[in-house]
């Protein structure tokens, strides 16, 4: 039986981890970030954030 935590090791990066990171990157639209949390050499969390870019109205007037 495969242990999913072991496949997320930073010492021996698995195809499963690469796929998870690739999927996370693809979910970010126009502007955003992907964060990887690593504990004891294992990726424990992948977080994506999509942000809305706002226009600075004060710069628009010049």
What's the pLDDT score for residue 21? 96
What's the pLDDT score for residue 3? 52
What's the pLDDT score for residue 7? 75
pLDDT in tens, 3-55: 554 579 999 999 999 999 999 999 998 899 999 999 999 999 999 999 887 77
Report residue 17: phi and psi, to 5°.
Answer: -65, -45
Q: Is 41 left (phi over 0), alpha (psi -120 to 50) or beta?
A: left
What's the pLDDT score for residue 23? 96
CA distance 27 to 11: 26
What's the pLDDT score for residue 57? 72
Are 28 and 21 spatial neighbours (Cβ–Cβ below 8 Å)? no
What's the pLDDT score for residue 6? 53
């Amino acid at each position: 039986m495969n242990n999913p935590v072991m496949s997320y090791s930073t010492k021996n990066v698995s195809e499963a981890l690469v796929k998870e990171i690739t999927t996370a990157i693809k979910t970010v639209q126009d502007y955003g970030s992907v964060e990887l949390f690593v504990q004891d050499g294992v990726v424990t969390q992948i977080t994506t954030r999509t942000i809305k870019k706002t226009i600075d109205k004060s710069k628009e007037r010049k």
